[in-house]
Amino acid sequence: MTRVIDGGITAPSGFRAAGVACGIKRSPAAGQPPALDLALVAAGGPVPTAAVFTTNRAVAAPVVVSREHLDRSGGRAAAVVINSGCANACTGAAGHTVARQMAEATATALGCEVDRVLVASTGVIGVALDIQKIRTGVAAAARVLRADGQADATRAIMTTDPFPKAYAVLVDTPGGRFTVGGMAKGSGMIEPRMATMIGVLTTDARVEPDVLARALRSVCDETFNAITVDGECSTNDCVFAMASGESGVAFTRDDAPALIDGLREVAGHLAREIVRGGEGATKLVTITVTGAASTADARLAARTVANSPLVKTAIHGGDPNWGRLVAAAGRSGADFSLDRASVAIGNVPLFVAGVPHDERAEAAARVLADREIVITIDLGAGGSSTATMWTCDLSAEYVRINGAYRT
């Protein structure tokens, strides 16, 4: 059984966090405080840690360095340091040097080995990251690390996000109680193919690195890897999970229901909040595909529908154009039977076993006026497999934000 609690990333015992301003982000308007742009999450020492990284081959320097450190440490880390405002991506050998120096500065500040530090960056691609600003920020963050520092850390990783994203749950099991917390950022350039945006999960459960790694991959497939804002997989996507073990509740299998449920609830909430806060988004849309011949087919069809610009613009305009949903599912590459396929917007069936019901369009339009919408598509393939994706509408505001992202 899980219960939502306060505390976000530092709700589990054994973790401290901080968020500081070190001048990477643009200066705010006159009279406004400097923007937070560096976050630090630290355990009491090296703890079991797992990660999932972007599959984009244009991979950013921080991802390369964090992979190397996890490999060398055998899946144990003492800290994650994240800057916003600059992605340190596509910056050549100099960018890799800066990412390593970012880890070195953090290791020095915390008194740990350098390969026990993981690094992440988010922001504009192709811009050099100022290591002097990073060093200043890391030193400042290390001085103010605290068990209630999650709010500043969560804000410090934001870029175009309209609001911070944090969540935590308390999990009761027959063997005791443990906690899972997390924070995430992401608003545009979102379609994880694993991973996603940037996210950090923490738990005070006792779990070895290999078990945590398998559990994280499984959970990410159902959460962070089931969202899309614009179909764009970033160069910097990553999700980290750290386990302090301080609750004493031990898990030796990655399929343990309590461990999976706790991680899934936190990751799922953060993933949906990313979509809810998508650039220019006004609606959170759940796409559920049923009647698929396989899970792979269900996921393929759901992703195709969720990424369709025609579907997303129709939803933004409140147009119950079920034909766009059918067409997207039909072109997805999944096994599909038009004569047996069905589509519903909310509880309004608009296309049933190959037969349209346009007389229900007005009722469906009322559903589309809501801020949260559920769309169900039966592929008619006769299978029992299902999948869910979360997406948002596509608005003129998205174009405005991304038309001037660098300028």
Which pLDDT belongs to residue 195?
42
CB-CB contact of 38 with 134 (8 Å): yes
Instruction: Judge whether residue 36 has pLDDT over 90.
Output: yes
Strands annotated E in 117-272: 117-124, 165-173, 176-185, 198-203, 206-207, 238-243, 250-251
Instruction: Judge whether residue 404 has pLDDT over 90.
Output: no
Cα within 13 Å of Cα(393), Cβ side: 22
Instruction: Say whether both 219 and 109 belong to one domain.
Output: yes
Question: For this structure, is 196 an active site residue?
Answer: yes
Instruction: Say whether both 44 and 177 belong to one domain.
Output: yes
Which pLDDT belongs to residue 15?
98
Instruction: Say whether both 184 and 314 belong to one domain.
Output: no
Instruction: Say whether both 81 and 148 belong to one domain.
Output: yes
Instruction: Judge whether residue 190 has pLDDT over 60.
Output: no
Q: Write out the two tokens for 394.
A: 């596509």
Instruction: Judge whether residue 386 has pLDDT over 60.
Output: yes
CB-CB contact of 240 with 200 (8 Å): yes
Buried b (16+ CB within 10 A) or exposed e, 91-110: beeebbebbbbbbbbbbebb
Instruction: Judge whether residue 196 has pLDDT over 50.
Output: no
Q: In this structure, which amino acid lies at residue 117? A: V
**What is the distance of C-alpha 117 from the center of its chain?**
21
Beta strands 355-356; 2-4: pairing state: unpaired
Mean pLDDT is lowest, of 3-7, 94-98, 218-222, 326-330, for: 218-222
Instruction: Say whether both 362 and 314 belong to one domain.
Output: yes
Which pLDDT belongs to residue 118?
98
At 199, give phi and psi (nearest 5°). -140, 150
CA dist., res. 244 & res. 118, Å (int): 16
Instruction: Say whether both 201 and 235 belong to one domain.
Output: yes
Mean pLDDT is lowest, of 13-27, 41-55, 178-192, for: 178-192
Number of domains present in the structure of the chain: 2
Instruction: Judge whether residue 34 has pLDDT over 70.
Output: yes
Q: Write out the two tokens for 81.
A: 């340091």
Which pLDDT belongs to residue 403?
72
CA dist., res. 404 & res. 407, Å (int): 5
**In this predicted model, which residue has the larger pLDDT, 163 or 234?**
163
Q: 259, 276, 293: which is the final residue of a domain?
A: 276
Rg (CA), the chain: 22
Q: Which residues have CB under 8 Å from 342's CB, separation 6+?
A: 291, 349, 351, 352, 353, 376, 377, 378, 380
Instruction: Judge whether residue 366 has pLDDT over 70.
Output: yes
Instruction: Judge whether residue 250 has pLDDT over 80.
Output: yes
Helix spans in 341-395 (H):
361-368
Instruction: Say whether both 241 and 305 belong to one domain.
Output: no
Looking at the chain, how many residues does it have? 407
Q: Which of 159, 196, 228, 391 is catalytic?
A: 196
**In this predicted model, which residue has the larger pLDDT, 272 or 401?**
272
Q: In this structure, which amino acid lies at residue 389? A: M
Instruction: Say whether both 246 and 344 belong to one domain.
Output: no
Could you tell me the pTM of the whole model? 0.90
Instruction: Say whether both 46 and 157 belong to one domain.
Output: yes
Instruction: Say whether both 157 and 290 belong to one domain.
Output: no
The whole-number average pLDDT for the span 311-328 is 96
Instruction: Say whether both 265 and 351 belong to one domain.
Output: no
Q: Name the pLDDT band for 136 (thresholds 50, 70, 90).
A: very high
CATH code, domain with 343: 3.10.20.340
Q: 258, 276, 294: which is the final residue of a domain?
A: 276
State the residue range of the domain holding 73.
2-276
* Percentage of the residues of the chain whose pLDDT score is greater than 70: 95
CB-CB contact of 184 with 199 (8 Å): yes
Mean pLDDT is lowest, of 50-59, 120-129, 188-197, 327-336, for: 188-197
Instruction: Judge whether residue 290 has pLDDT over 50.
Output: yes
CA dist., res. 370 & res. 170, Å (int): 31
Mean pLDDT is lowest, of 62-66, 136-140, 224-228, for: 224-228
Residue 29 buriedness (CB in 10 A; 0-12 / 13-18 / 19+): exposed
Instruction: Judge whether residue 402 has pLDDT over 90.
Output: no
pLDDT tens digits, one per residue of 66-118: 999 999 999 999 999 999 999 999 999 999 999 999 999 999 999 999 999 99
Instruction: Judge whether residue 188 has pLDDT over 50.
Output: yes
CATH code, domain with 55: 3.60.70.12
CA dist., res. 254 & res. 225, Å (int): 18
Q: At what angle do helices 209-222 and 257-276 cross, to 10 degrees?
A: 40
The mean pLDDT value of the chain amounts to 92
Instruction: Say whether both 12 and 148 belong to one domain.
Output: yes
Which pLDDT belongs to residue 242?
98
Q: Which residues have CB under 8 Å from 111's CB, separation 6+?
A: none
With CA atoms as reference, report the closest residue to 388 among 265, 288, 285, 267: 288
Instruction: Judge whether residue 247 has pLDDT over 70.
Output: yes
